[in-house]
Amino acid sequence: MKNHHIKKQSNVRVLILGGGTAGWMAAAALSAKLAGTGVSIRLVESAEIGTVGVGEATVPHIRHFNASLGFDEADFMSRTEATFKLGIEFRDWGRKGDAYIHPFAAFGREIGGVPFHHHWTRARRAGRVPADGLDAVSLPIQAARMGRFGHPSPDPSSFFSTFSYAYQFDAGLYAGYLRAYAEARGVVRTEGKVQDVSLRADGHVEAVTLESGERLVADLFVDCSGFRGLLIEGALKTGYEDWTRYLPCDRAVAVPCANDGPPAPYTRATARDAGWMWRIPLQHRAGNGHVYCSGFMDDDAAEQALLAQLDHPPQAAPRRLRFTTGKRRRQWVGNVVAIGLSAGFLEPLESTSIHLIQLGIGRLLDLFPTSADMDPLDAAEFNRLMDLEYERVRDFIILHYVATQRDDTPFWNHCRTMAIPDSLATKMELFKQRGIVTLYRDGMFLEPSWIAVYLGQNILPTHVDPRAALVSDAEIDRLIAMEAEHCRRAASSMPAHGEILSRYKVQVTA
Amino acid sequence: MKPLHDITVAGAGFVGWLAAAALARNHAGRGGSVTLVPLPGLDDSLDPFGPATALLPGGVEGLAALLGVTPADILRAGDGGFSLGTAFQGWEGPGSVSFLPFGQTGADLKGVAFHHLVWRARAAGASIRMTDYSLSTLAAQAERFALPSPDPRSVLSTLAPGGFADLRGLTALAQRQALAAGARLATAPLSHVRRDAAGRVTALVLADDTDIPADLFIDATGARALLAAPGNGWHDWRCWLPCDQYAVEPATADGPPPPYALHSADATGWTRRIPLRTGAWVTRLGRGAGRFTSGRRDLAWDANTVLLGASACLLDPVGGVALSLLITTIRHLLSHYPVTPGSGPEAASFNSQVAVAMDRARDFLILRFKANGRTGEAFWDAARAMDLPDPLAHKMALYESRGRIPLYDGELFDRPDWINLLDGAGIRARRCDVQANGLNDGEIMAHLERLRGVLLRAAGELPPHAQALAQLLGGTP
Ligand SMILES: Cc1cc2nc3c(=O)[nH]c(=O)nc-3n(C[C@H](O)[C@H](O)[C@H](O)COP(=O)(O)OP(=O)(O)OC[C@H]3O[C@@H](n4cnc5c(N)ncnc54)[C@H](O)[C@@H]3O)c2cc1C
């Protein structure tokens, strides 16, 4: 073999427009994965415009993102004031007074070849387990309720390997953390406001011009400019699929306050008269917000309602946000790829936005242009995959609204009775009648998540797998009790959440 | 809650007994009945291509679980050995040989997929066969075998064996299990099917004039599909899968069974040889006589009738998918078992999952014909020139463009299977993954050399297939 190694250079020039969570996640991942390929990356952001910056709760996939960039967990958590997240507690969703946790884990184990929830449904129908009895058979729910946390075991035979976890972090600090990482890997940052976008004859974006007059040319533009979608919509007029008819909330107001005691290892989402409120505990504060439907509540009332239930006085002026739920018709058009809020928005009920950013970045890397000439097939595949993902996440979020028995406000009457997509109606019918969860390849929410929400919101299947009846009631009761005892004991053996966090702090400062 | 208890299965061949065993084991324990009604004639309930069949990875275990026996019982009853893949002779042109292995091929390097590494190495002048980096291929060449390791760090975890079986032996085993679980065989063969005005099956009428009604009917009558409603049509796939004629004959074993099937192409078709422990079966496929029609039934579950085996889907045997599809279908039937009469949401869900699995399996077989390298022969020239169905066309286009295989819901085959098939057929991508550009040729070559070393060493340490089989099954090799 010859001694000199010829490196293939692709020389694609990338311009990332926007320095919010999406922009800096993209910059960090692209700079790491495309190191040495000849691809150059520039990021433009405008301090004057600022970022949305409220995305604070995540799903477990973020750990793979961090790990693939080589982040050390203790360092990352300590610099972003992060806490561990075992799930989301949903209060008052099925009925007022209900509370369930959607954990990152399955409930129980198969018995006699039949999924656990079929047996549980039978026991529940016969009144042998209480309505909130599912909590008892979930290790992460038990841990969350006790305010404890422990890392899952990598050994698949260990009971501690049966759950996963995510983080709650300060989005602004996370963006800064990513920025330092990306700049160290050659990403060039330009502060400035884009004022003009010029197109080539073939309709692709050629360059953006800043207020300063500086003109930035690139081959590939990653539009992370937030809701405005400066390139994908502003310049390319791609169009937006409006999903407000399924998810009517269109406003939010957010405000931080101090934590009430040690931070909880889970996010809380409480249903309210015309929407819902979140509480996301970080190390140094809690993020709070109220997502609501402007058709049923005005902005002042929404803000008042939020402030009225804070654990502590607000630490900043409330921020008001407007949004339209939906998705860009195509997220990759020509040489523009939209990632983040420019690509679409689904309300933060299941903390999905950052995950959708991560997916967009991963697929952009899988389909990264090999030269300045774009192959439309790359865009077609990207759009096919992202469409599937957005639609499946959308259906899962709608489920929370439509699987309700609440009839105490006009908003809930509307949600309970609204028309839903056929894709969701079919799934719900199958579960209601037979306890079967529809499975698919692409789609972030798997069977356990659907089960958590269905059962948590009192959708108890009418019929279950007939094979469940082959195991005696006494045996099922014994196994459920045993599983609950395992979960209780395992959760009790975990350290307090606050204790792990302070151990991490010490580790980093030492 | 009372599940539908009375099941009547039309056809007491392999598919009928397998379905009866699986259903009786799962449902009849509570007083329900499973009755099989035999049909005269040869058993072509799975397919008409002879008594021997292939199982894809997971198939032996899947079958064992449905029947409540061990995987060794399956091989014992089926006179079968393990399979590490398929040898293709003559498909890339007369005299060509390639091997399509099961399990993993190669290993990624710094997030760059293995096939991109191989393409880079070739661009740098190396002459490399992708499948030489699969332990299954190396083991198959040397007729060696071991069961896969559950430890992901072991190179043996890259194995994913399938197997072979004589369906007559499996039928006897399934029958034993079905009868033990309470299934019954009707005393007289089927005379005809009784239907109501809407075309719904109401009973099977036996030759002795007895009526056998049921809550649920299973059609295991093969391609004749005697229970299918007239309106439940057949999607004809001959435009993509060109063979429609077959001939079957037994062959004698030359030595212990090799752990692979041999598919040999010739000017006008191809020939399958499936090795068994005490012999082999040879099936020749071609075009002309119209003895079978590749395709699938519109609805596998229609009202009170579920069609299984060739009555629901019949494919050219080139992919060896028939039995694996049947296992998947029966599993779906068990998990979607009806609890109310007629077809509720279970049937719709079952139908869409089953249909998509069949359609995606079909795509893989289509590609085997499309990606042939035999020029100047009408049969093969036509196959190369055919238009592909949409999802496959997109898959092929994306692969040819940049070496990426999109996977859809319900895929039976994984990325390496598609890539090995296409790369083995000499079809390469126009572009290479940009992330591979971050690696220099030296790194890539070193990675490939190291891999090859590990694989060769591992293959050399495996026992002969015959010995591994004997150890597993007991008795002499
Ligand atoms: C109420 C609410 C709650 C949320 N909660 C969560 C959550 O819990 N979990 C979660 O995962 N996600 C959540 N999200 C979503 C999350 O906030 C976003 O996905 C995330 O912040 C990414 O935003 P972005 O980077 O796409 O856009 P932005 O944060 O809006 O950033 C846009 C960037 O573009 C730049 N820019 C725009 N125009 C110009 C211009 N003309 N010139 C130069 N620069 C420009 C801006 O300066 C900024 O840097 C929430 C969203 C909302 C609205």
pLDDT number for residue B198: 87
Are the C-beta atoms of residues B315 and B363 closer than 8 Å to each other?
Answer: no
Q: Which of A38, A378, A433 sits opposite B437 (nearest CB)?
A: A38
**In a domain? residue B114:** yes
Q: Which of B349, B397, B435 sits opposite A438 (nearest CB)?
A: B349
**In a domain? residue B1:** no
Within 8 A of A37 by CB-CB distance, chain B residues are: 434-435, 437-438
Distance CA A365, CA A343 (A): 17
| Stronger pLDDT, A508 or B76, i.e. the higher one | B76
What percent of chain A is predicted at pLDDT more than 90?
90
Are the C-beta atoms of residues A342 and A226 closer than 8 Å to each other?
Answer: yes
pLDDT band at A476 (very low <50, low <70, confident <90, very high): very high
pLDDT band at A140 (very low <50, low <70, confident <90, very high): very high
pLDDT number for residue B291: 94
What would the mean pLDDT of B161-167 be, rounded to a whole number?
98
pLDDT number for residue A440: 87
Tell me the per-residue pLDDT of A352-394, one tens digit each, with 9 for 90 and over.
999 999 999 999 999 999 888 899 999 999 999 999 999 999 9
Any B CB within 8 A of A443 CB: no
Whole-structure pTM value: 0.95
Q: Is residue B26's pLDDT more than 90?
A: no
Q: Write out the two tokens for A37.
A: 């390929």
Distance CA B292, CA A381 (A): 36
Within 8 A of B409 by CB-CB distance, chain A residues are: 440-442
Q: Is residue B2's pLDDT more than 90?
A: no
Distance CA A445, CA A448 (A): 8
Which positions ≥6 away from A300 have C-beta within 8 Å? none
Q: Write out the two tokens for B306.
A: 């579920």
* Cβ–Cβ gap A442/B337 under 8 Å: no
Are the C-beta atoms of residues A156 and A162 closer than 8 Å to each other?
Answer: no
pLDDT band at A499 (very low <50, low <70, confident <90, very high): very high
- Token look-up 């996977």 returns B407
pLDDT number for residue A441: 85
What would the mean pLDDT of B33-45 be, rounded to a whole number?
94
Within 8 A of B124 by CB-CB distance, chain A residues are: 1, 6
* Cβ–Cβ gap B437/A9 under 8 Å: yes
* Cβ–Cβ gap A368/B29 under 8 Å: no
User: A377 CA distance to ligand 1 centroid (A)?
Assistant: 28
Q: Which of A366, A377, A439 sits opposite B397 (nearest CB)?
A: A377
Distance CA B404, CA A367 (A): 8
What would the mean pLDDT of A480-496 be, rounded to a whole number?
97
pLDDT number for residue B375: 97
Q: A326-340, B47-61, B65-79, B432-446: which range is least confident on average?
A: B432-446
B311, exposed or middle or buried, with CB in 10 Å at 0-12, 13-18, 19+?
Answer: buried
pLDDT number for residue B477: 43
Number of domains in chain B: 1
Count CB-CB contacts under 10 A for residue B210. 14
Q: Is A434 helix (H, G, I), strand (E, B) or coil?
A: helix
Q: Is residue A1's pLDDT more than 60?
A: no
A200, exposed or middle or buried, with CB in 10 Å at 0-12, 13-18, 19+?
Answer: exposed
Give contacts of A 364-423 with B, CB under 8 A.
365-371, 375, 377-378, 380-381, 384-385
What would the mean pLDDT of A422-426 be, rounded to a whole number?
96
Tell me the per-residue pLDDT of B97-112, one tens digit each, with 9 for 90 and over.
999 999 999 999 999 9
Distance CA A48, CA A208 (A): 17
Q: Is residue B213's pLDDT more than 80?
A: yes
pLDDT number for residue A442: 84
pLDDT number for residue B29: 58
Tell me the per-residue pLDDT of B323-357, one tens digit each, with 9 for 90 and over.
999 999 999 999 999 887 766 899 999 999 999 99
Tell me the per-residue pLDDT of B281-292, one tens digit each, with 9 for 90 and over.
999 999 998 899
First to last CA, chain A: 48
- CATH code of the domain containing B404: 3.50.50.60
pLDDT band at A470 (very low <50, low <70, confident <90, very high): confident
Q: In B84-195, which residue ranges form alpha helices assigned H by DSSP?
A: 114-123, 135-141, 167-180
Distance CA A302, CA A251 (A): 9
pLDDT number for residue A10: 66
pLDDT number for residue A5: 40
The two beta strands, B6-10 and A336-338, are unpaired
Q: Which residues of A are annotated as catalytic?
A: 85
* Cβ–Cβ gap A34/B438 under 8 Å: yes
Tell me the per-residue pLDDT of B379-426, one tens digit each, with 9 for 90 and over.
999 999 999 999 999 999 999 999 999 999 999 999 999 999 999 999
What would the mean pLDDT of A41-51 be, rounded to a whole number?
96
DSSP code for B201: E
* Cβ–Cβ gap B348/A426 under 8 Å: yes
A429 a known binding residue?
Answer: no
The pLDDT mean for chain B works out to: 95
Q: Which atom of ligand 1 is nearest to the CA of A351?
A: 9
| Stronger pLDDT, A234 or B476, i.e. the higher one | A234
Ligand 1 interacting residues, C-beta cut-off 6 A: A 18-23, 44-46, 49-58, 171, 193-194, 224-226, 228, 230, 252, 254, 289, 321, 323, 340-342, 348, 351, 353-354, 357
Buried b vs exposed e over A59-70: b needs ≥16 C-beta within 10 Å? bbbbbebbeebe
Q: Is residue B87's pLDDT more than 70?
A: yes
Which positions ≥6 away from B171 have C-beta within 8 Å? B13, B14, B17, B18, B43
| Stronger pLDDT, B231 or A10, i.e. the higher one | B231
What would the mean pLDDT of B200-216 be, rounded to a whole number?
95
Within 8 A of B431 by CB-CB distance, chain A residues are: 370-371, 375
Q: Is residue B370's pLDDT more than 80?
A: yes
Can you give the residue ranges of every domain in chain A?
13-82+170-238+328-390
pLDDT number for residue B116: 96
Q: A10-19, A320-329, B54-63: which range is least confident on average?
A: A10-19
H-helix or E-strand containing B248?
A: strand B245-251
What are the residues facing B53 on neighbouring strands? B165
**In a domain? residue B83:** yes
What percent of chain B is predicted at pLDDT more than 90?
90
* Cβ–Cβ gap A430/B345 under 8 Å: yes
From the CA atom positions of chain B, what is the Rg in Å?
A: 23
| The total number of residues written for chain A in this structure | 510
Distance CA A45, CA A339 (A): 15
**In a domain? residue B467:** yes
Q: Is residue A247's pLDDT more than 90?
A: yes
pLDDT number for residue A6: 41
Which positions ≥6 away from B187 have C-beta within 8 Å? B206, B208, B210
Q: Is residue A204's pLDDT more than 50?
A: yes
Count CB-CB contacts under 10 A for residue B62. 21
Specify the fold of A13-82+170-238+328-390.
FAD/NAD(P)-binding domain (3.50.50)
What would the mean pLDDT of A428-436 be, rounded to a whole number?
96
pLDDT band at A156 (very low <50, low <70, confident <90, very high): confident
Q: Is residue A7's pLDDT more than 60?
A: no
What would the mean pLDDT of A269-273 be, rounded to a whole number?
98
Q: Is residue B30's pLDDT more than 70?
A: no
Domain residues for the domain of B200 are 6-473
A21 a known binding residue?
Answer: yes
Phi, psi of B278 (to 5 degrees): -110, 10
What is the nearest CA distance from B143 to chain A, expressed in angstroms? 33
pLDDT band at B474 (very low <50, low <70, confident <90, very high): confident
Q: Is residue A8's pLDDT more than 60?
A: no
Which residue, among B282, B310, B271, has the nearest Cα to B48 in the 3D structure?
A: B310
pLDDT number for residue A410: 98
